[in-house]
Structure 1
């Protein structure tokens, strides 16, 4: 895959629509983590309103909104918190400008179809005070006028890089970091993350009012070693599935060697270092939210094989997880390898995941919630 920023921007959007493999129908994991973070987000909103003296208009931006119900679940929580905060202090509710941002190729249509439902759930006297708009573009660039945003939210977006890092020629058949890999591969990924996250903060610093807030949730890692096996199971199994297709003659090894994911899951220190060095925001809160690789329950009766693995449950859980991963990366994979191999690829992915189900089912996923205040 080309490492140019322009080529990535055209395929980095999640799988659109509302079909079986769409992001809209395979984002339960994100919903769960956002639910865990909602109290912290609400607290940020309340503090901001008081510090700003209950402004008459509040502009909220959700960056990397993708498509589906998750977008409006988060926005509803923010809007409801704003309204409740004003009512508790006997203040007239403000006008609320809700801006939904993602890349131009994002499936905004699926999201916009949910606007009537979003408005319907608001109280009658609030509906006419709440405005929703789409803002297509990369959040690694300027998106809004100077000092116009009061509250910025972004979840499950900032671990996606603006481009595939340069200098990955030695990564060979790995699609991401995998042990063993040359040290310069890790350094290239880390450098790209630092550049991108710093740029994101600099752009938002221009757009956010003083004392404005940002609430960010991103995939991270606890291990200081980026090659720890806990850090990249999703992508190492994708590599295995791709190499299966190479061994079957469906793909060329050179095609796999030229594909790398524009992704990086930082550790806590790496995130904090970029924020401190960029200098525009103060960390108000930093939390680690743990999930499970298989956040899936089944009512099946356990039928274990000779190794003690519940095979029906393993396959169902693996299939569900594979659909989740497919919803994230299918556009990228199809652009590089072609549409024809996608079904076969994720059959292989499901197989590898099911084989490792008993080992991985209690493995935690690591997510960071970061609350920032504009200085």
Structure 2
């Protein structure tokens, strides 16, 4: 079964849901809010592209505070522009269409319920809604929209996920795991593992750019936010701290006879933490978009919580919200609670030793070049 057929963030709005455990993603989004606002203001000032309306897409939107904040900010920016034009007798702002995209397994019912309950979405001008909300299920590594139809594309904390696990992580015979004992690139991984991850990421991100090149209008904008790593760090020795403790939790369950060692050896997280230099290089190589801005930001999971055990349990739920569907598929339902309990234990150890719990985010702002896309 392909990754896109079963992978999803935890649905619903309960205590283990992605909706309730995505504060890190919201914090990263808030850091980029001014970039998004400037981009949309620039688009609204370009009347040439807005004859038939403004089309905005949130790709890999998920559920929870980020898509709600995104829709709210877009509507407020457009309403502000509408009032300016009305005061200047320049006519109304064109109709705004907002497309919410994710894999079909996403909890779209919860997403649309929450968005439609936003007060800002209920407002109308002269009894007519200015904004149309639409769902666009499917993989963003494939074509989703008509050619030259999108003015702004937003993707937050989603493009670091692969379309498929790197194929090179098994030997040519397919029997011997190359990344034995690890779930990601680590100091004990070979260069083959790092290359497999980097190659898969470059292929996926290039494919994403090729698809969006055909869909985004000339001078259209994109704001893409990734789970990343600091600049100039070696991917062979840099590993996200949450995956370090994740590996410890899995290894502990193996030692207790609750998980087969072979199961751990064949499990690899299907995402890659890129640096801003890597992102810039791929964008330049693909050639359809110009880079307006890139930045790397560091923040912490539940940094406001002083009690380390309470914070550790929050960290465990944060990781569970985005990883549970992967664990369920590979290891089965029986180990879920045991694994994430162990994860909270190792998160507590990590914090108690005074180790950093920094989470790195890389954002890149792009503008479509003025030529016909050939892809």
- How far apart are the structure 2 equivalents of 1:282 and 1:360? 41
Judging changes above 3 Å, is the alpha-carbon distance between structure 1 residues 269 and 360 closer, same or farther for their aligned structure 2 residues? Answer: farther
Judging changes above 3 Å, is the alpha-carbon distance between structure 1 residues 277 and 245 closer, same or farther for their aligned structure 2 residues? Answer: same
Task: Please show how residues 1-375 of structure 1 align to structure 2 within 5 Å.
Answer: 7-53=2-48, 55-90=51-86, 91-118=91-118, 120-125=120-125, 128-168=129-169, 169-222=177-230, 223-229=232-238, 231-298=239-306, 313-359=307-353, 362-375=356-369
- How far apart are the structure 2 equivalents of 1:143 and 1:360? 46
- How far apart are the structure 2 equivalents of 1:366 and 1:55? 39
1:240 Cα offset (Å): 0.9
The Cα offsets for residues 41-82 of structure 1, whole Å up to 9 and x where unpaired, read as: 100111122134454511110000011232121121122112
1:225 Cα offset (Å): 0.7
1:113 Cα offset (Å): 1.1
- How far apart are the structure 2 equivalents of 1:10 and 1:314? 37
Judging changes above 3 Å, is the alpha-carbon distance between structure 1 residues 190 and 360 closer, same or farther for their aligned structure 2 residues? Answer: farther
1:165 Cα offset (Å): 0.3
Shifted more, 285-294 versus 234-243: the winner is 285-294
1:118 Cα offset (Å): 2.5
SS for the counterpart of 1:333 is helix
Gaps of 5+ in 2: 170-176, 370-375
SS for the counterpart of 1:296 is coil
1:21 Cα offset (Å): 0.7
TM-score (structure 1 length as normaliser): 0.90
SS for the counterpart of 1:125 is coil
TM-score (structure 2 length as normaliser): 0.90
Shifted more, 253-262 versus 75-84: the winner is 75-84
Contact 2:116 2:122 in 1 (8 A): no
1:119 Cα offset (Å): 5.3
- How far apart are the structure 1 equivalents of 2:8 and 2:354? 28
Contact 1:59 1:98 in 2 (8 A): yes
**Number of residue pairs matched by the alignment:** 355
- How far apart are the structure 2 equivalents of 1:176 and 1:75? 34
Judging changes above 3 Å, is the alpha-carbon distance between structure 1 residues 373 and 146 closer, same or farther for their aligned structure 2 residues? Answer: same
Judging changes above 3 Å, is the alpha-carbon distance between structure 1 residues 360 and 264 closer, same or farther for their aligned structure 2 residues? Answer: farther
Contact 2:183 2:269 in 1 (8 A): yes
Q: CA RMSD in A?
A: 1.7
Gaps of 5+ in 1: 1-5, 299-312
Runs of 4+ with >3 A deviation: 52-56, 119-123, 358-363
